[in-house]
A and B are shown apart, each in its own frame.
Chain A
Amino acid sequence: MTRYLLVLLVALFVPSAPLLAQDGGPLRIEITEGVIEPLPYAVPDFVADGVSGQEYARQIAEVVASDLNGTGLFRQIPAEAHIARVTSFSSPVQFSDWKAINAQALITGAVSVDGAGRLVVRFRLYDVFAGQEIGQGLQFVGTGEGWRRMAHKVADQVYSRLTGEDPYFDSRVVFVAETGPKDAREKRLAIMDYDGANITYLTGAESLVLAPRFSPTGDRVLYTSYETGHPRIYVLDVASAGRQVLETPGASMSFSPRFAPDGRTVVYSLTQGGNTDLYVMDIASGRSQRLTSAPSIETAPSFSPDGARIVFESDRSGTPQLYIMPASGGEATRISFGQGRYGTPVWSPRGDLVAFTKQSKGRFHIGVMRTDGSEERLLTASFLDEGPTWSPNGRVIMFTRETQGAQGRSGLYSVDITGRNLRPVPTPTGASDPSWSPLQN
């Protein structure tokens, strides 16, 4: 009511409002609210230079789109909606054609086969509304069989230039492929591209295998196998699939191995007399050193990226919780204080976060927290989620989700660290225990 009065009142003054003298500078406004939605982009089929490049031109554009779409950060504008065609890689882009369909980024590319039979893939990326190219056009040269990797590299460039994140598409995942019923499950080690393509099995189904982990360069995999009857740690060479047991002190059970960032040291759990503690081993000499000596369970260790500290899981307080200690052992600091049980901590490659499994009120969650335990955030919730692994750039987490009941099945899922874009990772059989490789060279 008073408002209307005021309107009337001030209306009287308006006609006589005087010229205000200050003429200083631009109009200033502050924008603090925006939208969070996938960025619309277009990637028309790459231009084939010559017949031999044709079969790859469409497929490469498809894989690039699949990578970008899979992040949840981008939305592809389908080719049917395009009103322009790109028929030449070198011709100038008509930005108005792409503005008209609201494509904010445009990727153009060309594929050819050179005199030596090698595949040559070129691309350019444009900011349509600014009417500018983003970064320099690039070209990749490789073998025909390597076309998917070249597509991933193109997508990595685009992703990186548009978001500012480090790339991650040209990477692999080692995991446990699962077949058979829940009470007699067969488990094999398998490796695939991060998107589920190019799967290869690394072990047979004769013995149970668990929880593989990539080396810092992706050349080797640590895992636990029942090959000798008892759980033992193995190291496997990815190129040859050759494997070797890592001898640990005592005759009991060793498991939960992880590489240190130097690739020469392994931290693992060793169980003696029913008690499980953490040890480190120098792979070359085979010498082990004990890091913890508590009557509680200490397992699921993970090095910080600088190798100085280890985050691990311990039930020394009565329930499983997360702790951080120096890499040489010594006093551990508890970092998890929420309600519930915490396990499988994994240090982010950026160093600032720890991903974990949390069990609370009968549900499992994948979550992240800062390394001091603050800012805990749960990203998922289901009957059984566990075992997070980080994408090489620390933006995405992959994990195991198992469904409930007698017909329960394990599969891989990924989720953005914002909690968005939860999606299954396709695998031909059941799958568990993913470990994401570093970016390939």
Chain B
Amino acid sequence: MAYLSKALLVAAALALAACSSPDRFGGAGAGAGAGGVAGSAQDPSSPLYFQQAVGDRVLFAIDQSNLSPEAIATLDGQARWLMSNRGFNILIEGHADEQGTREYNLALGARRANAVREYLVSQGVAAGRVDTISYGKERPLEICSEEACYAKNRRAVTVVSAGPVG
């Protein structure tokens, strides 16, 4: 079982790397060298499915960490997926746009990650499966200095990885 999850993960990582808008730094275990074709986006139990079909990220308003109705809809889907795919743990990455000082944004990213964490736990995801991290403004996804980019950078991304007892 553990072996299977890992294989899935490796496949997911490769698929992620090929994706048009990959999260370049969050994927745990990314970079393993083995090949494979299993776990496509059509496989509902694959991390790729989670990322693309369920939606792995929610966006925030400027300076805010409260969840919008769209964010809650996404997180409801994440919670359902996690409840039916208990072999996976998650790391929630909180991010901020570049319009803020470095350390404040680090704290703001942590606040956003925690908002997502609390919601998922409230929906039944075991707290022990959830870790959080903040990158502040250190890892923007979009690099333009306009609101169109900032909006996509103010995000919390749920990164799925193989659980320790998968």
Contact = CB atoms under 8 A, between A and B. Distances in A.
Q: Touching in the complex, A and B, CB below 8 A?
A: yes
Contact of A359 (B100, B114, B117, B140): B100
Interface stretch (B38-46, B47-55, B77-85, B131-139): B131-139
A406 interface: yes
Interface in B97-129: 98-104, 106-108, 110-111, 113-115, 117-118
A25 interface: no
A229 B108 CA distance: 18
Interface stretch (B2-10, B11-19, B29-37, B141-149): B141-149
A271 B113 CA distance: 11
Contact of A182 (B108, B133, B143): B143
Interface string A379-390: 000011011000
Interface string A337-358: 0000101100000000000010
B115 A253 contact: no
Contact of A274 (B24, B103, B104, B114): B114
Contacts of A190: none
- Which one of A181, A182, A432, A433 has the highest number of Cβ atoms from chain B below 10 Å of its Cβ? A182
Contact of B104 (A230, A252, A320): A320
Range for the number of chain B residues in contact with chain A: 20 to 34
Nearest to A406: B143
Contacts of A211: 102-103
Contacts of B65: 274
Interface residues of A, number: 44
Given A184-B25, A297-B111, A359 B99 contact: yes
A404 B145 contact: yes
B145 A253 contact: no
A230 B113 CA distance: 13
Given A211-B102, A271-B134, A297 B107 contact: yes
A229 B135 CA distance: 11
B153 to A, nearest CB: 9
Nearest to B134: A253
Contacts of B108: 297
A315 B103 CA distance: 13
Interface string A135-148: 00000000000000
A343 B138 contact: no
Contacts of B25: 184
Nearest to B133: A230
Given A229-B133, A408-B143, A273 B103 contact: no
22 contacts: A182-B140, A183-B24, A183-B139, A184-B139, A185-B138, A210-B102, A210-B138, A211-B102, A255-B103, A256-B106, A269-B103, A274-B65, A297-B107, A300-B101, A313-B101, A341-B100, A359-B99, A387-B102, A405-B144, A405-B145, A408-B143, A408-B145
Interface of A: 181-185, 208, 210-211, 229-231, 252-253, 255-256, 269, 271, 273-276, 297, 299-300, 313, 315, 319-320, 341, 343-344, 357, 359, 383-384, 386-387, 402, 404-406, 408, 432-433
